[in-house]
Structure 1
Protein backbone atom coordinates (compact mmCIF):
# COMPACT_ATOMS: atom_id res chain seq x y z
CA UNK A 1 0.00 0.00 0.00
CA UNK A 2 2.90 2.38 0.73
CA UNK A 3 4.34 2.01 -2.75
CA UNK A 4 0.94 2.47 -4.41
CA UNK A 5 0.31 5.60 -2.35
CA UNK A 6 3.66 7.10 -3.34
CA UNK A 7 3.22 6.35 -7.03
CA UNK A 8 -0.25 7.89 -6.94
CA UNK A 9 1.04 11.03 -5.21
CA UNK A 10 3.89 11.48 -7.70
CA UNK A 11 1.43 11.22 -10.61
CA UNK A 12 -1.15 13.56 -9.05
CA UNK A 13 1.53 16.10 -8.24
CA UNK A 14 2.70 16.21 -11.85
CA UNK A 15 -0.87 16.78 -13.04
CA UNK A 16 -1.94 19.21 -10.30
CA UNK A 17 0.93 20.89 -8.41
CA UNK A 18 0.11 21.98 -4.86
CA UNK A 19 0.47 25.58 -3.71
CA UNK A 20 2.38 24.44 -0.62
CA UNK A 21 2.88 27.85 0.95
CA UNK A 22 -0.76 28.90 0.75
CA UNK A 23 -2.46 25.56 1.42
CA UNK A 24 -0.07 23.94 3.89
CA UNK A 25 2.65 26.21 5.30
CA UNK A 26 0.46 29.18 6.18
CA UNK A 27 -2.46 27.25 7.79
CA UNK A 28 -0.15 24.96 9.77
CA UNK A 29 2.00 27.95 10.70
CA UNK A 30 -1.12 29.71 11.98
CA UNK A 31 -1.98 26.58 13.98
CA UNK A 32 1.51 26.57 15.53
CA UNK A 33 1.21 30.28 16.37
CA UNK A 34 -2.20 29.71 17.97
CA UNK A 35 -0.88 26.95 20.21
CA UNK A 36 2.15 29.03 21.16
CA UNK A 37 -0.01 32.01 22.08
CA UNK A 38 -2.03 29.81 24.45
CA UNK A 39 0.83 27.91 26.10
CA UNK A 40 4.00 30.02 25.94
CA UNK A 41 4.79 31.08 29.49
CA UNK A 42 8.53 30.71 28.92
CA UNK A 43 8.99 27.40 30.75
CA UNK A 44 10.32 24.15 29.30
CA UNK A 45 7.33 22.12 30.51
CA UNK A 46 4.99 24.51 28.72
CA UNK A 47 6.90 23.84 25.50
CA UNK A 48 6.51 20.08 25.98
CA UNK A 49 2.77 20.40 26.56
CA UNK A 50 2.32 22.80 23.65
CA UNK A 51 4.25 20.49 21.30
CA UNK A 52 2.04 17.57 22.27
CA UNK A 53 -1.06 19.61 21.43
CA UNK A 54 0.37 21.07 18.23
CA UNK A 55 1.89 17.86 16.82
CA UNK A 56 0.90 14.67 18.64
CA UNK A 57 -2.80 15.48 18.91
CA UNK A 58 -3.36 15.97 15.13
CA UNK A 59 -1.21 12.90 14.38
CA UNK A 60 -3.22 10.77 16.81
CA UNK A 61 -6.52 12.00 15.35
CA UNK A 62 -5.39 11.19 11.80
CA UNK A 63 -4.23 7.78 13.02
CA UNK A 64 -7.67 7.06 14.48
CA UNK A 65 -9.38 8.16 11.27
CA UNK A 66 -7.04 5.94 9.24
CA UNK A 67 -7.75 2.93 11.47
CA UNK A 68 -11.49 3.46 11.15
CA UNK A 69 -11.35 3.86 7.37
CA UNK A 70 -9.06 0.87 6.94
CA UNK A 71 -11.45 -1.24 9.02
CA UNK A 72 -14.24 -0.31 6.60
CA UNK A 73 -12.10 -0.97 3.52
CA UNK A 74 -8.35 -0.91 2.74
CA UNK A 75 -9.24 1.26 -0.25
CA UNK A 76 -10.44 4.03 2.08
CA UNK A 77 -7.16 3.79 3.99
CA UNK A 78 -5.25 4.04 0.70
CA UNK A 79 -7.18 7.17 -0.26
CA UNK A 80 -6.36 8.84 3.07
CA UNK A 81 -2.70 7.91 2.62
CA UNK A 82 -2.66 9.54 -0.81
CA UNK A 83 -4.42 12.67 0.44
CA UNK A 84 -2.07 13.24 3.39
CA UNK A 85 1.04 12.44 1.36
CA UNK A 86 -0.06 14.85 -1.35
CA UNK A 87 -0.29 17.58 1.27
CA UNK A 88 2.96 16.81 3.09
CA UNK A 89 5.53 15.86 0.44
CA UNK A 90 6.44 16.44 -3.17
CA UNK A 91 9.03 17.62 -5.67
CA UNK A 92 6.96 20.53 -6.92
CA UNK A 93 7.43 22.36 -3.61
CA UNK A 94 10.86 23.38 -4.91
CA UNK A 95 11.36 22.10 -8.46
CA UNK A 96 9.44 24.94 -10.12
CA UNK A 97 11.73 27.62 -8.66
CA UNK A 98 14.82 25.53 -9.36
CA UNK A 99 13.90 24.89 -13.00
CA UNK A 100 13.13 28.55 -13.63
CA UNK A 101 16.47 29.63 -12.13
CA UNK A 102 18.29 27.06 -14.22
CA UNK A 103 16.58 28.30 -17.39
CA UNK A 104 17.35 31.94 -16.57
CA UNK A 105 21.04 31.14 -16.06
CA UNK A 106 21.22 29.26 -19.35
CA UNK A 107 19.74 32.30 -21.07
CA UNK A 108 22.24 34.57 -19.34
CA UNK A 109 19.48 36.49 -17.53
CA UNK A 110 21.21 37.03 -14.17
CA UNK A 111 18.70 39.60 -12.95
CA UNK A 112 15.83 37.18 -13.48
CA UNK A 113 17.78 34.38 -11.76
CA UNK A 114 18.46 36.64 -8.75
CA UNK A 115 14.80 37.56 -8.51
CA UNK A 116 13.68 33.92 -8.64
CA UNK A 117 16.23 32.88 -6.02
CA UNK A 118 15.11 35.69 -3.70
CA UNK A 119 11.46 34.64 -4.08
CA UNK A 120 12.29 31.01 -3.40
CA UNK A 121 14.66 31.29 -0.45
CA UNK A 122 13.68 34.68 0.95
CA UNK A 123 17.26 35.95 0.97
CA UNK A 124 19.01 38.98 -0.45
CA UNK A 125 20.50 38.27 -3.88
CA UNK A 126 21.79 41.72 -4.79
CA UNK A 127 24.55 41.49 -7.40
CA UNK A 128 25.10 37.73 -7.00
CA UNK A 129 27.03 36.10 -9.81
CA UNK A 130 26.01 32.96 -11.71
CA UNK A 131 28.30 30.74 -9.60
CA UNK A 132 26.80 32.01 -6.35
CA UNK A 133 23.27 31.55 -7.69
CA UNK A 134 24.08 28.02 -8.85
CA UNK A 135 25.58 27.11 -5.47
CA UNK A 136 22.69 28.49 -3.46
CA UNK A 137 20.17 26.84 -5.78
CA UNK A 138 21.83 23.42 -5.51
CA UNK A 139 22.02 23.75 -1.73
CA UNK A 140 18.34 24.70 -1.62
CA UNK A 141 17.36 21.79 -3.86
CA UNK A 142 19.32 19.21 -1.83
CA UNK A 143 17.85 20.52 1.43
CA UNK A 144 14.32 20.69 0.00
CA UNK A 145 14.54 17.18 -1.44
CA UNK A 146 15.30 15.97 2.06
CA UNK A 147 12.64 18.06 3.82
CA UNK A 148 9.88 17.53 1.25
CA UNK A 149 10.57 14.06 -0.14
CA UNK A 150 12.99 11.67 1.54
CA UNK A 151 12.38 12.47 5.22
CA UNK A 152 8.59 12.44 4.76
CA UNK A 153 8.84 9.21 2.79
CA UNK A 154 10.88 7.46 5.49
CA UNK A 155 8.52 8.43 8.30
CA UNK A 156 5.56 7.44 6.14
CA UNK A 157 7.05 3.95 5.95
CA UNK A 158 7.99 3.75 9.64
CA UNK A 159 4.60 4.66 11.15
CA UNK A 160 1.19 3.23 10.26
CA UNK A 161 -0.92 4.96 7.64
CA UNK A 162 -0.19 8.65 7.07
CA UNK A 163 0.86 9.31 10.69
CA UNK A 164 4.59 9.45 9.97
CA UNK A 165 4.28 11.90 7.08
CA UNK A 166 2.10 14.24 9.15
CA UNK A 167 4.38 13.90 12.19
CA UNK A 168 7.44 15.04 10.24
CA UNK A 169 5.71 17.94 8.49
CA UNK A 170 4.08 19.29 11.67
CA UNK A 171 7.23 18.87 13.76
CA UNK A 172 9.28 20.81 11.18
CA UNK A 173 6.77 23.65 10.86
CA UNK A 174 6.32 23.94 14.64
CA UNK A 175 10.08 24.05 15.20
CA UNK A 176 10.59 26.71 12.53
CA UNK A 177 7.66 28.90 13.63
CA UNK A 178 8.48 28.80 17.32
CA UNK A 179 12.17 29.52 16.75
CA UNK A 180 11.97 31.90 13.77
CA UNK A 181 12.37 35.11 15.78
CA UNK A 182 14.33 33.69 18.70
CA UNK A 183 17.50 32.37 17.10
CA UNK A 184 19.75 34.50 19.32
CA UNK A 185 17.58 34.29 22.43
CA UNK A 186 17.47 31.72 25.20
CA UNK A 187 13.88 30.53 25.42
CA UNK A 188 13.09 27.38 27.34
CA UNK A 189 9.67 27.11 25.70
CA UNK A 190 11.13 26.55 22.23
CA UNK A 191 13.87 24.18 23.37
CA UNK A 192 11.78 21.01 23.31
CA UNK A 193 10.59 21.59 19.74
CA UNK A 194 14.24 21.76 18.64
CA UNK A 195 15.25 18.72 20.65
CA UNK A 196 12.42 16.48 19.50
CA UNK A 197 12.79 17.48 15.85
CA UNK A 198 16.49 16.65 16.09
CA UNK A 199 15.49 13.16 17.20
CA UNK A 200 12.82 12.83 14.50
CA UNK A 201 15.22 13.99 11.78
CA UNK A 202 18.26 11.97 12.94
CA UNK A 203 17.58 8.85 10.87
CA UNK A 204 16.12 10.59 7.77
CA UNK A 205 19.18 12.86 7.48
CA UNK A 206 21.50 9.90 7.37
CA UNK A 207 19.22 7.91 5.07
CA UNK A 208 19.13 10.82 2.58
CA UNK A 209 22.90 11.29 2.75
CA UNK A 210 23.38 7.54 2.22
CA UNK A 211 21.11 7.57 -0.82
CA UNK A 212 23.09 10.46 -2.35
CA UNK A 213 26.34 8.59 -1.72
CA UNK A 214 25.03 5.37 -3.27
CA UNK A 215 23.85 7.00 -6.50
CA UNK A 216 26.78 9.45 -6.78
CA UNK A 217 30.50 9.47 -6.01
CA UNK A 218 30.44 7.27 -2.93
CA UNK A 219 34.02 7.84 -1.78
CA UNK A 220 33.89 11.64 -1.96
CA UNK A 221 30.39 11.71 -0.45
CA UNK A 222 31.53 9.60 2.50
CA UNK A 223 34.63 11.77 3.01
CA UNK A 224 32.65 15.03 2.95
CA UNK A 225 30.00 13.53 5.25
CA UNK A 226 32.68 12.64 7.82
CA UNK A 227 34.70 15.83 7.74
CA UNK A 228 32.57 18.85 6.75
CA UNK A 229 29.13 19.05 8.48
CA UNK A 230 30.54 20.25 11.82
CA UNK A 231 31.55 23.57 10.24
CA UNK A 232 28.09 24.22 8.77
CA UNK A 233 25.71 26.47 10.80
CA UNK A 234 23.01 23.78 10.81
CA UNK A 235 25.18 20.75 11.46
CA UNK A 236 22.35 18.28 10.88
CA UNK A 237 21.38 19.66 7.48
CA UNK A 238 25.09 19.96 6.74
CA UNK A 239 25.19 16.15 6.60
CA UNK A 240 22.84 16.12 3.61
CA UNK A 241 24.52 19.06 1.88
CA UNK A 242 28.05 17.72 2.38
CA UNK A 243 27.13 14.23 1.17
CA UNK A 244 25.24 15.64 -1.80
CA UNK A 245 28.10 17.95 -2.76
CA UNK A 246 30.61 15.11 -2.49
CA UNK A 247 28.37 12.82 -4.54
CA UNK A 248 28.13 15.48 -7.27
CA UNK A 249 31.79 16.45 -7.18
CA UNK A 250 30.94 20.13 -6.75
CA UNK A 251 32.00 22.88 -4.37
CA UNK A 252 29.12 24.23 -2.29
CA UNK A 253 29.05 26.49 0.75
CA UNK A 254 31.96 28.97 0.59
CA UNK A 255 31.61 32.74 1.09
CA UNK A 256 28.86 34.49 -0.88
CA UNK A 257 29.37 38.12 -1.89
CA UNK A 258 26.07 40.03 -1.70
CA UNK A 259 26.79 43.57 -2.83
CA UNK A 260 29.41 44.83 -0.36
CA UNK A 261 28.64 42.18 2.28
CA UNK A 262 30.39 38.81 2.44
CA UNK A 263 28.68 35.92 4.23
CA UNK A 264 31.28 33.64 5.79
CA UNK A 265 30.24 30.05 5.06
CA UNK A 266 32.18 26.82 5.40
CA UNK A 267 33.15 24.91 2.28
CA UNK A 268 31.20 21.79 1.42
CA UNK A 269 32.02 19.19 -1.20
CA UNK A 270 34.99 18.61 -3.47
CA UNK A 271 35.73 19.22 -7.11
CA UNK A 272 34.74 22.02 -9.46
CA UNK A 273 32.91 25.30 -8.76
CA UNK A 274 29.13 25.18 -9.16
CA UNK A 275 27.55 26.20 -12.45
CA UNK A 276 24.33 25.62 -14.36
CA UNK A 277 25.53 22.20 -15.58
CA UNK A 278 25.93 21.05 -11.99
CA UNK A 279 22.38 22.22 -11.38
CA UNK A 280 21.25 19.66 -13.95
CA UNK A 281 23.48 17.03 -12.34
CA UNK A 282 21.82 17.73 -8.99
CA UNK A 283 18.41 17.02 -10.55
CA UNK A 284 19.72 13.66 -11.75
CA UNK A 285 21.15 12.89 -8.31
CA UNK A 286 17.82 13.53 -6.59
CA UNK A 287 15.88 11.45 -9.11
CA UNK A 288 18.33 8.54 -8.88
CA UNK A 289 18.05 8.64 -5.09
CA UNK A 290 14.26 8.60 -5.46
CA UNK A 291 14.46 5.51 -7.67
CA UNK A 292 16.61 3.78 -5.03
CA UNK A 293 14.00 4.55 -2.36
CA UNK A 294 11.17 3.31 -4.55
CA UNK A 295 13.06 0.14 -5.39
CA UNK A 296 13.70 -0.48 -1.70
CA UNK A 297 10.01 -0.01 -0.95
CA UNK A 298 9.13 -2.44 -3.72
CA UNK A 299 11.51 -5.07 -2.34
CA UNK A 300 10.16 -4.59 1.17
CA UNK A 301 6.61 -4.95 -0.08
CA UNK A 302 7.55 -8.03 -2.07
CA UNK A 303 9.23 -9.57 0.96
CA UNK A 304 6.12 -8.86 3.03
CA UNK A 305 3.91 -10.58 0.47
CA UNK A 306 6.20 -13.61 0.27
CA UNK A 307 6.35 -13.78 4.06
Structure 2
Protein backbone atom coordinates (compact mmCIF):
# COMPACT_ATOMS: atom_id res chain seq x y z
CA UNK A 1 0.00 0.00 0.00
CA UNK A 2 2.93 2.36 0.65
CA UNK A 3 4.16 2.19 -2.94
CA UNK A 4 0.65 2.86 -4.25
CA UNK A 5 0.27 5.90 -1.98
CA UNK A 6 3.64 7.25 -3.15
CA UNK A 7 2.75 6.71 -6.81
CA UNK A 8 -0.66 8.39 -6.51
CA UNK A 9 0.78 11.35 -4.59
CA UNK A 10 3.48 11.88 -7.22
CA UNK A 11 0.95 11.72 -10.05
CA UNK A 12 -1.37 14.19 -8.34
CA UNK A 13 1.55 16.52 -7.63
CA UNK A 14 2.56 16.43 -11.28
CA UNK A 15 -0.98 17.15 -12.46
CA UNK A 16 -1.72 19.79 -9.81
CA UNK A 17 1.47 21.27 -8.32
CA UNK A 18 1.37 21.96 -4.61
CA UNK A 19 0.83 25.57 -3.56
CA UNK A 20 3.67 25.40 -1.05
CA UNK A 21 3.39 28.94 0.26
CA UNK A 22 -0.27 28.58 1.24
CA UNK A 23 -0.27 24.93 2.31
CA UNK A 24 3.21 24.43 3.79
CA UNK A 25 5.19 27.56 4.61
CA UNK A 26 2.40 29.74 5.98
CA UNK A 27 0.83 27.12 8.33
CA UNK A 28 4.22 25.93 9.60
CA UNK A 29 5.38 29.51 9.98
CA UNK A 30 2.36 30.35 12.13
CA UNK A 31 2.89 27.20 14.22
CA UNK A 32 6.56 28.04 14.71
CA UNK A 33 5.78 31.62 15.76
CA UNK A 34 3.06 30.47 18.16
CA UNK A 35 5.37 27.96 19.89
CA UNK A 36 8.28 30.40 20.07
CA UNK A 37 6.10 33.10 21.61
CA UNK A 38 5.06 30.75 24.41
CA UNK A 39 8.43 29.11 24.99
CA UNK A 40 10.01 32.12 26.67
CA UNK A 41 12.83 34.29 25.38
CA UNK A 42 15.73 32.05 26.46
CA UNK A 43 14.09 28.86 25.16
CA UNK A 44 13.25 30.62 21.89
CA UNK A 45 16.86 31.71 21.43
CA UNK A 46 18.30 28.27 22.15
CA UNK A 47 15.70 26.50 20.02
CA UNK A 48 15.90 23.01 21.49
CA UNK A 49 12.59 22.93 23.33
CA UNK A 50 10.60 24.72 20.59
CA UNK A 51 12.09 22.41 17.94
CA UNK A 52 11.10 19.29 19.88
CA UNK A 53 7.63 20.63 20.60
CA UNK A 54 6.94 21.46 16.97
CA UNK A 55 8.43 18.28 15.50
CA UNK A 56 6.92 15.89 18.03
CA UNK A 57 3.50 17.55 17.92
CA UNK A 58 3.26 17.29 14.14
CA UNK A 59 4.88 13.86 13.78
CA UNK A 60 2.99 12.17 16.61
CA UNK A 61 -0.18 13.97 15.57
CA UNK A 62 0.10 12.54 12.06
CA UNK A 63 0.67 9.02 13.44
CA UNK A 64 -2.32 9.25 15.80
CA UNK A 65 -4.54 10.67 13.07
CA UNK A 66 -3.59 7.80 10.77
CA UNK A 67 -4.28 5.22 13.49
CA UNK A 68 -7.68 6.75 14.20
CA UNK A 69 -8.61 6.87 10.51
CA UNK A 70 -7.46 3.27 10.08
CA UNK A 71 -9.92 2.22 12.77
CA UNK A 72 -12.65 4.15 10.96
CA UNK A 73 -11.78 2.59 7.59
CA UNK A 74 -8.48 1.60 5.92
CA UNK A 75 -9.46 3.42 2.73
CA UNK A 76 -9.77 6.70 4.61
CA UNK A 77 -6.37 6.13 6.22
CA UNK A 78 -4.91 5.43 2.78
CA UNK A 79 -6.37 8.66 1.42
CA UNK A 80 -4.85 10.49 4.41
CA UNK A 81 -1.44 9.02 3.53
CA UNK A 82 -1.75 10.25 -0.05
CA UNK A 83 -2.82 13.72 1.11
CA UNK A 84 0.12 14.05 3.51
CA UNK A 85 2.59 12.81 0.91
CA UNK A 86 1.21 15.36 -1.54
CA UNK A 87 1.68 18.05 1.14
CA UNK A 88 5.23 16.92 1.96
CA UNK A 89 6.55 16.82 -1.62
CA UNK A 90 7.06 19.63 -4.10
CA UNK A 91 8.74 17.96 -7.04
CA UNK A 92 6.80 19.47 -9.94
CA UNK A 93 7.32 23.05 -8.79
CA UNK A 94 11.10 22.70 -8.86
CA UNK A 95 10.90 20.69 -12.08
CA UNK A 96 9.01 23.55 -13.71
CA UNK A 97 11.54 26.12 -12.51
CA UNK A 98 14.35 24.00 -13.90
CA UNK A 99 12.53 23.57 -17.21
CA UNK A 100 11.94 27.33 -17.48
CA UNK A 101 15.65 28.04 -16.94
CA UNK A 102 16.55 25.38 -19.51
CA UNK A 103 14.16 26.90 -22.05
CA UNK A 104 15.45 30.43 -21.42
CA UNK A 105 19.04 29.34 -22.03
CA UNK A 106 18.11 27.46 -25.19
CA UNK A 107 16.27 30.56 -26.47
CA UNK A 108 19.33 32.70 -25.76
CA UNK A 109 17.53 34.62 -22.99
CA UNK A 110 20.39 34.67 -20.51
CA UNK A 111 19.00 37.57 -18.47
CA UNK A 112 15.69 35.77 -17.97
CA UNK A 113 17.53 32.58 -17.01
CA UNK A 114 19.54 34.54 -14.43
CA UNK A 115 16.36 36.02 -12.96
CA UNK A 116 14.62 32.65 -12.74
CA UNK A 117 17.69 31.06 -11.15
CA UNK A 118 17.98 33.86 -8.59
CA UNK A 119 14.33 33.47 -7.60
CA UNK A 120 14.75 29.70 -7.26
CA UNK A 121 17.97 29.80 -5.24
CA UNK A 122 17.18 32.94 -3.27
CA UNK A 123 20.53 34.46 -4.26
CA UNK A 124 21.60 37.09 -6.77
CA UNK A 125 22.77 35.52 -10.04
CA UNK A 126 22.66 38.62 -12.25
CA UNK A 127 26.34 38.34 -13.23
CA UNK A 128 26.40 34.57 -13.91
CA UNK A 129 27.37 33.44 -17.38
CA UNK A 130 25.57 30.65 -19.25
CA UNK A 131 27.79 27.90 -17.86
CA UNK A 132 27.33 29.15 -14.28
CA UNK A 133 23.55 29.30 -14.70
CA UNK A 134 23.48 25.72 -16.00
CA UNK A 135 25.79 24.49 -13.21
CA UNK A 136 23.82 26.18 -10.45
CA UNK A 137 20.50 24.98 -11.86
CA UNK A 138 21.76 21.39 -12.03
CA UNK A 139 23.10 21.58 -8.48
CA UNK A 140 19.80 22.99 -7.23
CA UNK A 141 17.86 20.29 -9.07
CA UNK A 142 19.92 17.52 -7.48
CA UNK A 143 19.45 18.87 -3.96
CA UNK A 144 15.78 19.78 -4.43
CA UNK A 145 14.84 16.40 -5.90
CA UNK A 146 16.33 14.70 -2.87
CA UNK A 147 14.65 16.93 -0.30
CA UNK A 148 11.29 17.05 -2.08
CA UNK A 149 10.99 13.42 -3.14
CA UNK A 150 13.64 10.85 -2.22
CA UNK A 151 14.03 11.74 1.47
CA UNK A 152 10.27 12.16 1.93
CA UNK A 153 9.66 8.68 0.49
CA UNK A 154 12.37 7.20 2.70
CA UNK A 155 10.90 8.54 5.93
CA UNK A 156 7.36 7.71 4.81
CA UNK A 157 8.38 4.08 4.49
CA UNK A 158 10.38 3.97 7.73
CA UNK A 159 7.88 5.44 10.21
CA UNK A 160 4.21 4.42 10.71
CA UNK A 161 1.56 6.07 8.60
CA UNK A 162 2.58 9.41 7.12
CA UNK A 163 4.46 10.51 10.25
CA UNK A 164 7.87 10.07 8.62
CA UNK A 165 6.98 12.38 5.74
CA UNK A 166 5.75 14.96 8.24
CA UNK A 167 8.90 14.61 10.36
CA UNK A 168 11.17 15.31 7.40
CA UNK A 169 9.11 18.17 5.97
CA UNK A 170 8.77 19.96 9.30
CA UNK A 171 12.46 19.50 10.22
CA UNK A 172 13.44 20.86 6.84
CA UNK A 173 11.17 23.87 7.23
CA UNK A 174 12.58 24.72 10.66
CA UNK A 175 16.12 24.42 9.37
CA UNK A 176 15.46 26.83 6.49
CA UNK A 177 13.17 29.25 8.34
CA UNK A 178 15.34 29.57 11.43
CA UNK A 179 18.50 29.93 9.34
CA UNK A 180 17.05 33.16 7.92
CA UNK A 181 16.72 34.49 11.49
CA UNK A 182 20.27 33.62 12.56
CA UNK A 183 21.54 37.19 12.03
CA UNK A 184 18.82 38.55 14.32
CA UNK A 185 20.36 37.01 17.42
CA UNK A 186 18.96 33.52 17.02
CA UNK A 187 22.13 31.82 15.76
CA UNK A 188 22.01 29.10 18.41
CA UNK A 189 18.46 28.20 17.46
CA UNK A 190 19.36 28.06 13.77
CA UNK A 191 22.43 25.95 14.54
CA UNK A 192 20.39 23.41 16.50
CA UNK A 193 17.77 23.14 13.73
CA UNK A 194 20.55 22.63 11.17
CA UNK A 195 22.25 19.89 13.20
CA UNK A 196 18.94 18.13 13.87
CA UNK A 197 18.05 18.18 10.18
CA UNK A 198 21.50 16.87 9.20
CA UNK A 199 20.99 13.93 11.56
CA UNK A 200 17.56 13.17 10.10
CA UNK A 201 18.92 13.51 6.57
CA UNK A 202 22.12 11.51 7.14
CA UNK A 203 20.95 8.16 5.79
CA UNK A 204 18.43 9.37 3.15
CA UNK A 205 20.97 11.63 1.43
CA UNK A 206 23.41 8.74 1.09
CA UNK A 207 20.73 6.45 -0.31
CA UNK A 208 19.78 9.11 -2.86
CA UNK A 209 23.43 9.55 -3.85
CA UNK A 210 23.73 5.77 -4.20
CA UNK A 211 20.65 5.73 -6.46
CA UNK A 212 22.13 8.48 -8.66
CA UNK A 213 25.37 6.52 -8.83
CA UNK A 214 23.65 3.29 -9.87
CA UNK A 215 21.82 4.88 -12.81
CA UNK A 216 24.83 6.92 -13.97
CA UNK A 217 28.57 6.41 -14.14
CA UNK A 218 28.91 4.35 -10.98
CA UNK A 219 32.69 4.42 -10.56
CA UNK A 220 33.07 8.16 -11.19
CA UNK A 221 30.11 8.95 -8.94
CA UNK A 222 31.59 6.99 -6.05
CA UNK A 223 35.03 8.51 -6.64
CA UNK A 224 33.68 12.07 -6.56
CA UNK A 225 31.48 11.29 -3.56
CA UNK A 226 34.43 9.86 -1.64
CA UNK A 227 37.06 12.45 -2.54
CA UNK A 228 35.20 15.75 -3.07
CA UNK A 229 32.22 15.92 -0.73
CA UNK A 230 34.25 16.85 2.35
CA UNK A 231 35.34 20.12 0.68
CA UNK A 232 31.81 21.60 0.54
CA UNK A 233 30.32 23.57 3.46
CA UNK A 234 26.93 21.79 3.41
CA UNK A 235 27.78 18.09 3.68
CA UNK A 236 24.39 16.82 2.53
CA UNK A 237 24.38 18.98 -0.59
CA UNK A 238 28.03 18.08 -1.20
CA UNK A 239 27.29 14.36 -1.39
CA UNK A 240 24.45 14.89 -3.86
CA UNK A 241 26.36 17.35 -6.05
CA UNK A 242 29.56 15.30 -6.09
CA UNK A 243 27.78 12.01 -6.82
CA UNK A 244 25.48 13.64 -9.36
CA UNK A 245 28.34 15.35 -11.19
CA UNK A 246 30.33 12.13 -11.27
CA UNK A 247 27.32 10.12 -12.44
CA UNK A 248 26.71 12.54 -15.33
CA UNK A 249 30.38 13.16 -16.18
CA UNK A 250 30.06 16.91 -15.55
CA UNK A 251 32.06 19.49 -13.66
CA UNK A 252 29.92 21.21 -11.04
CA UNK A 253 30.84 23.50 -8.16
CA UNK A 254 33.70 25.88 -9.07
CA UNK A 255 33.72 29.68 -8.54
CA UNK A 256 30.57 31.66 -9.36
CA UNK A 257 29.49 35.30 -9.57
CA UNK A 258 27.04 36.13 -6.79
CA UNK A 259 25.89 39.50 -5.40
CA UNK A 260 28.63 41.34 -7.29
CA UNK A 261 31.42 39.14 -5.96
CA UNK A 262 33.23 35.99 -7.00
CA UNK A 263 32.42 33.18 -4.59
CA UNK A 264 35.13 30.55 -4.45
CA UNK A 265 33.83 26.97 -4.48
CA UNK A 266 35.67 23.67 -4.95
CA UNK A 267 35.28 21.66 -8.11
CA UNK A 268 32.73 18.85 -7.84
CA UNK A 269 32.17 16.03 -10.28
CA UNK A 270 34.46 15.49 -13.27
CA UNK A 271 34.37 15.40 -17.02
CA UNK A 272 32.94 18.02 -19.37
CA UNK A 273 32.36 21.69 -18.70
CA UNK A 274 28.67 22.19 -17.92
CA UNK A 275 26.45 23.92 -20.47
CA UNK A 276 22.74 24.26 -21.19
CA UNK A 277 22.99 21.15 -23.40
CA UNK A 278 23.53 19.05 -20.28
CA UNK A 279 20.48 20.23 -18.35
CA UNK A 280 18.04 17.69 -19.71
CA UNK A 281 20.45 14.95 -18.79
CA UNK A 282 20.04 15.66 -15.07
CA UNK A 283 16.25 15.34 -15.40
CA UNK A 284 16.66 11.89 -16.96
CA UNK A 285 19.16 10.93 -14.25
CA UNK A 286 16.77 11.94 -11.46
CA UNK A 287 13.82 10.13 -13.01
CA UNK A 288 15.87 6.95 -13.50
CA UNK A 289 17.01 7.11 -9.88
CA UNK A 290 13.40 7.58 -8.75
CA UNK A 291 12.28 4.57 -10.78
CA UNK A 292 15.03 2.48 -9.16
CA UNK A 293 13.88 3.56 -5.69
CA UNK A 294 10.26 2.73 -6.47
CA UNK A 295 11.24 -0.68 -7.88
CA UNK A 296 13.20 -1.43 -4.72
CA UNK A 297 10.18 -0.40 -2.65
CA UNK A 298 7.96 -2.70 -4.74
CA UNK A 299 10.35 -5.62 -4.23
CA UNK A 300 10.48 -5.00 -0.49
CA UNK A 301 6.69 -4.86 -0.37
CA UNK A 302 6.37 -8.11 -2.32
CA UNK A 303 8.98 -9.76 -0.10
CA UNK A 304 7.04 -8.68 2.98
CA UNK A 305 3.79 -10.04 1.57
CA UNK A 306 5.44 -13.32 0.63
CA UNK A 307 7.13 -13.58 4.02
CA UNK A 308 3.84 -12.90 5.78
- TM, length-normalised to structure 2: 0.94
The runs of 5 or more residues in structure 1 that have no matched partner are: none
Check the 8 A contact 2:150/2:208 in 1, yes or no: yes
Check the 8 A contact 1:126/1:258 in 2, yes or no: yes
Which residue pairs with 2:89 in the alignment?
Answer: 89
d(CA) in 2 for partners of 1:240, 1:247: 10
The runs of 5 or more residues in structure 2 that have no matched partner are: none
d(CA) in 2 for partners of 1:194, 1:286: 25
d(CA) in 1 for partners of 2:46, 2:114: 42
Evaluate the alpha carbon distance shift between residue 169 and residue 260 of structure 1 in structure 2; reply closer, same or farther with a 3 A threshold.
closer
Which residue pairs with 2:38 in the alignment?
Answer: 38
Q: Does 1:141 align with 2:145?
A: no
Evaluate the alpha carbon distance shift between residue 186 and residue 58 of structure 1 in structure 2; reply closer, same or farther with a 3 A threshold.
closer
RMSD of aligned Cα (Å): 1.9
Out of 11-20 and 152-161, give the one that drifted further.
11-20
The structural deviation recorded for 1:100 is 0.5
d(CA) in 1 for partners of 2:215, 2:29: 35
Which residue pairs with 2:197 in the alignment?
Answer: 197
Out of 258-267 and 276-285, give the one that drifted further.
258-267
Check the 8 A contact 2:220/2:246 in 1, yes or no: yes
Summarize deviations over 1:25-64 as a string: whole Å, max 9, x none. Answer: 2321332233233325345995222112111111111111
Please give the secondary structure, in 2, of the residue aligned with 1:127.
coil
Moved over 6 A (4+): 183-186
The structural deviation recorded for 1:179 is 2.3
d(CA) in 2 for partners of 1:30, 1:261: 35
Count of aligned pairs: 307
Which residue pairs with 2:182 in the alignment?
Answer: 182
- TM, length-normalised to structure 1: 0.94
Which residue pairs with 2:73 in the alignment?
Answer: 73
Please give the secondary structure, in 1, of the residue aligned with 2:182.
coil
Which residue pairs with 1:52 in the alignment?
Answer: 52
d(CA) in 1 for partners of 2:158, 2:187: 32
Out of 280-289 and 187-196, give the one that drifted further.
187-196
